[in-house]
Amino acid sequence: MSDDGGIEAFLDELYPYRRESETFRTIPERGRAAADVLAEVRGYAAREDAMGDEGRVSGSLYCGDHDHYHVLSEVFEEFAHVNVLQRDMYPSATKFEAEIIAMVVDMLHGPAAGSDVCGVVTSGGSESLVTALYTYREQAAKDRGITRPNVVIPTTAHVALDKGAHWLGIEMRHAPLTDDFVVDVAAMADLIDENTIAIVGSAGNYAHGLIDPIAELGQLALQRGIGLHVDGCLGGFLLPWIEESGVDVPLWDFRVPGVTSISADTHKYGYALKGTSTLLYRTKALRAHQWFTYPDWPGGLYLSPGLGGSRSGGLIASTWASLVLTGREGYLEAARGIYAAAQAIVAGIRTGIPELTVIGDPTFLVAFTSDVVDIYLVNDELKRRGWRMNALQLPPALHFCVTRANTAPEVVDQFLVDLAASVAFAVEHAGEPAQSGAMYGLGGTPQGNADINALMGAYLDAMHDTAPQLD
């Protein structure tokens, strides 16, 4: 390979199977045998699950129990062909969705806010957050005549909010953090004006796993007469059980006056299959702003709860199944193990690896930074040793989002051994360029250049292009 060697290596990382299996660029003339297709995809799955099954992945694989996945897959199979738009044909979808919402409302102390708490099932955390923005935009336009809306969020709020604001024509205002890495409430208050339609807090945020001062934000929202959305996409299905197990967790759910909506992902610590989340509202009147209806279409009266049209009945049925299969005891047991593992990691870093600093007071996600070593060099060595961490920026840091797959004591012990060795590697190689950087959704990626947006766009092009030809 010539000067294109770097590109080929990059493509090999994105498409690792292109040199060992057939690459399809057209639909094959004859369909392949089912046994051959199954053998190929099972081979990929086995290779790709290996790291997660060993407990060496931060986040991503929240359950890790293949027996659980198998049952959910069987439930999914029964409704894989179902479009929940057709409720007359498949009324079970209404049962499943209604009961999912009811169970999540109960878990997040909806009854404390009254009998009107309600919600919807979405395709994931991003859709929940973008939908919440849309709902507040519509409410403000209809009730207050606001045409140039803005929303105030912490700098650590999930970037899906920025994406949604970009799509919806909402100005997004970012409030700084305190020295404790939670949102500065006073600074947030200063950013609110007559066009502010809502504020947002996280429980916990993706970067550091920390809970913003939701009680204070609730008072601020009430004082200003605006909504408060709590992004519990990450922690929503875990924090209630950590609290119930006896840990002091700050109030963040519907027990807080001023909280008007909450998102919580069922496909994370709810242990459902990927592709579902919940969005809850304090009142049905607020939720009504999410609905889209159109009476004048030749195809008939059109009514839609959200962005999507067709939705898989299999995902809704299997999500319901995950909640009733796991049960309160199952969620409590998992939460206790996750919390214990996270605290062991915190203690191991604070007592044994002085070059690192744990960010904040973690419950289940441990973020750490360093003023002594290049944290991305640490990540390079962790990756070489078989670990997939999540890399952060502003400040440069790594985080370990603890899941059920990480709770075995030998996993935590080995991680601390490898982390200490990786710090030693970073000390030894100080000044050398790191191979990894911070890109959301990828454990280790090339660092960007000055034109970072162009680089990220090119990366997206490469990820979504047709399968590349071999050199």
293 and 342 in a single domain? The answer is no
Spatial separation of the C-alpha atoms in residues 139 and 197, rounded to whole Å? 8
Domain span holding position 192: 78-322
The model's pTM is: 0.91
247 and 380 in a single domain? The answer is no
96 and 146 in a single domain? The answer is yes
Spatial separation of the C-alpha atoms in residues 240 and 332, rounded to whole Å? 9
317 and 346 in a single domain? The answer is no
- Is 72 part of a structural domain of the chain? no
- Is 309 part of a structural domain of the chain? yes
- Is 54 part of a structural domain of the chain? no
CATH number at residue 197: 3.40.640.10
Condensed to tens digits (0 to 9), the pLDDT of residues 169-220 reads 999 999 999 999 999 999 999 999 999 999 999 999 999 999 999 999 999 9
- Is 40 part of a structural domain of the chain? no
- Is 57 part of a structural domain of the chain? no
- Is 171 part of a structural domain of the chain? yes
- Is 384 part of a structural domain of the chain? yes
**Average pLDDT for residues 79-106, to the nearest whole number?**
93
Residue 127 near residue 277 (C-beta atoms within 8 A): yes
374 and 267 in a single domain? The answer is no
Spatial separation of the C-alpha atoms in residues 262 and 283, rounded to whole Å? 12
Task: Give the domain-ending residue among 322, 337, 357.
Answer: 322
Q: Closest by alpha carbon to 362, among 154, 36, 137, 58?
A: 58
Task: Give the domain-ending residue among 288, 305, 322.
Answer: 322
317 and 355 in a single domain? The answer is no
Q: How many domains does the chain have?
A: 2
Condensed to tens digits (0 to 9), the pLDDT of residues 394-406 reads 899 999 999 999 9
198 and 234 in a single domain? The answer is yes
Spatial separation of the C-alpha atoms in residues 176 and 202, rounded to whole Å? 14
Spatial separation of the C-alpha atoms in residues 363 and 377, rounded to whole Å? 26
172 and 255 in a single domain? The answer is yes
What phi, psi does 447 have (nearest 5°)? -70, 150
| One-letter amino acid of 168 | L
Task: Give the domain-ending residue among 273, 290, 322.
Answer: 322
Spatial separation of the C-alpha atoms in residues 25 and 31, rounded to whole Å? 14
The C-alpha torsion from 281 through 283 and 284 to 289, rounded to 10°, is: -70
pLDDT tier, 83 (very low <50, low <70, confident <90, very high otherwise): very high
CATH number at residue 432: 3.90.1150.10
Condensed to tens digits (0 to 9), the pLDDT of residues 131-151 reads 999 999 999 999 999 999 999
Q: Tell me: pLDDT of 448 over 60.
A: no
- Is 19 part of a structural domain of the chain? no
209 and 348 in a single domain? The answer is no
pLDDT tier, 1 (very low <50, low <70, confident <90, very high otherwise): very low
293 and 372 in a single domain? The answer is no
290 and 438 in a single domain? The answer is no
217 and 90 in a single domain? The answer is yes
Residue 184 in tokens? 């500065």
Q: Tell me: pLDDT of 354 over 80.
A: yes
